[in-house]
Structure 1
Amino acid sequence: MDSSSKTCFIAVVAVSGSVVYLAMQAHNRLLSNFINQIEFQINTSSSGAAAVREEPKKKVRFAAEVAEKGYGGRARAGRRNGENLEAMPQNWQAMYKGILQQRNLRGYM
């Protein structure tokens, strides 16, 4: 190889390397922009559903007369269908009484 062909070969390698480098940079930028757009669309579409899920749950509270008559829902769950608290095993009674006390302390009914 003479010096002119060596120079020509080096020029071809330099130009092709530069083209490959520029193509890679353009691909990375286009890809990152595309990914950012997709993430934005996903966040936008799911934010509406997330807002619905984040609403606090409504708590039902019964009037004093209704609670005395035994229509209190979950607080009276162990006494439904003729079940009696004393009919339960002692460990269940203790657990159930603790649950009722905790609910009363927190203001649940």
Structure 2
Amino acid sequence: MSIPTRIKQVIEGLSVAKVAQMLDEKESRVRSVVYGKQRVPEDFLIKFVQVFQVDANWLLLGVGEPPKPELTSVEAALLDNFRHCPTDEQDAIIKTSALLAQRPGKKNLKNAG
């Protein structure tokens, strides 16, 4: 399995635009790396390993098992967005998610606030 294939495995469910935002990269660069149109630059690899918290040996060499994150890529993106919001907006997100979880027919989630 190639590095771009392992990258695709990690970012499954996320758009190229979202990955670019999370990595603070241009979409065109992310797209080129993900689709194997260019060799994966060292600085890209470093950011990718840090942001997505994957083992560098697995990403580069395929040694060992792929990461088994507690969060899906989408959940990690949501958490990243939340962490970059001001406190008042975080409070609004917490309240909104608690209200959405209480809707009839929906599984109740813990109120984080």
TM exceeding 0.5: no
Q: The TM-score by the shorter chain falls in which range?
A: under 0.3
- Structure having the larger proportion of residues in helix: 1
